[in-house]
Amino acid sequence: MRLHANRDFLAGIACLLMSSLVLWKSQEYAFGSLQRMGPGFMPTMLGIMLAICGVIIMLFSKKTAGTFPRINVRALFFITIGILTFSLLMDRLGVFVATILLVFICRLSESGNKFLSTLMLSLALCALVYLIFSLGLSMPLRLFPWSF
């Protein structure tokens, strides 16, 4: 059977990669016996089962594979960066700065000039976060870069 680099073939490869990571790490944990399972028992079993699944998926891949769905790479990139920026800045510069940056970075997922509407949205969301989380749930959030 000739193998093609189609969607399911890659899915099978992903399973094998994950499985080898799991099995490689599981060697550090004691396997134990069926009666006294060590911490390595489950990982080894799961790794082997995943490898079997991966091989089956690859073998059937020529027949089963569908087309790749279209992924919005731009949205993936900017939304991920937006969340990471938020997580890095909220403790250091406060939740307001982090919120404004998150909204602006996320909005880069689409094209078009929309500075004013984005600014309005980010300010409205700052107010909402303050009202819900700080006032409503009294969560200890650092608000401004200069607070505590």
Partner 1 sequence: MELLDNLALGISVAFTLENLLYCALGVTIGMFIGVIPGVGHLAAISMLLPLTFYVPATTALVMLAGIYYGAQYGGSTAAILLNLPGTPSSAVVCLDGYPMAKQGRAGVALFMTTVASFVGSFITVLVLAAFAPPLANFAVAFNSADYFSMMLLGLVAAAILVQGSPVKGIAAVLFGLIFGMVGTDVSTGVQRYAFGLTFLYDGINIVAIAMGIFGVTEVIANVGKVSSAVTAQKITFRSLLPTRKDIKESIFPMLRGTGIGTGVGILPGTGTSIASFLAYAVEKKISKTPSKFGKGAIEGIAAPESANNASAQSAFIPTLTLGIPGDAVMALMLGALLIHGITPGPNVISDNPDLFWGLVVSFLIGNVLLLVLNIPMVGLWVRLLKVPYPILYPSIILFIAVGVYSINYSSMDIMMVAFFGVVGVMLLLLGFEPAPLLLGYILGPMIEENFRRTMLLNRGDMMVFLERPVSATFVAMTLMLLLWTAYSMIKSAKHKSIEQA
Regarding 37 and contact with partner 1 (CB under 8 A), the answer is: yes
**x/- track of binding to partner 1 for residues 98-127 (CB under 8 A):** -x--xx--xx-xx---x--xx--xx--x--
Coarse DSSP helix, strand, coil percentages of the chain, rounded to the nearest 5 percent: 70, 0, 30
**Contact yes or no for 143/95 (Cβ under 8 A):** yes
Nearest distance from residue 68's CB to partner 1, in Å? 6
Regarding 94 and contact with partner 1 (CB under 8 A), the answer is: no
Which one among 1, 2, 5, 69 touches partner 1, defined by CB under 8 A?
69
Say how far apart CA 112 and CA 13 lie, in whole Å. Answer: 38
**Contact yes or no for 141/134 (Cβ under 8 A):** yes
Nearest distance from residue 59's CB to partner 1, in Å? 10
**Contact yes or no for 141/133 (Cβ under 8 A):** yes
Regarding 36 and contact with partner 1 (CB under 8 A), the answer is: yes
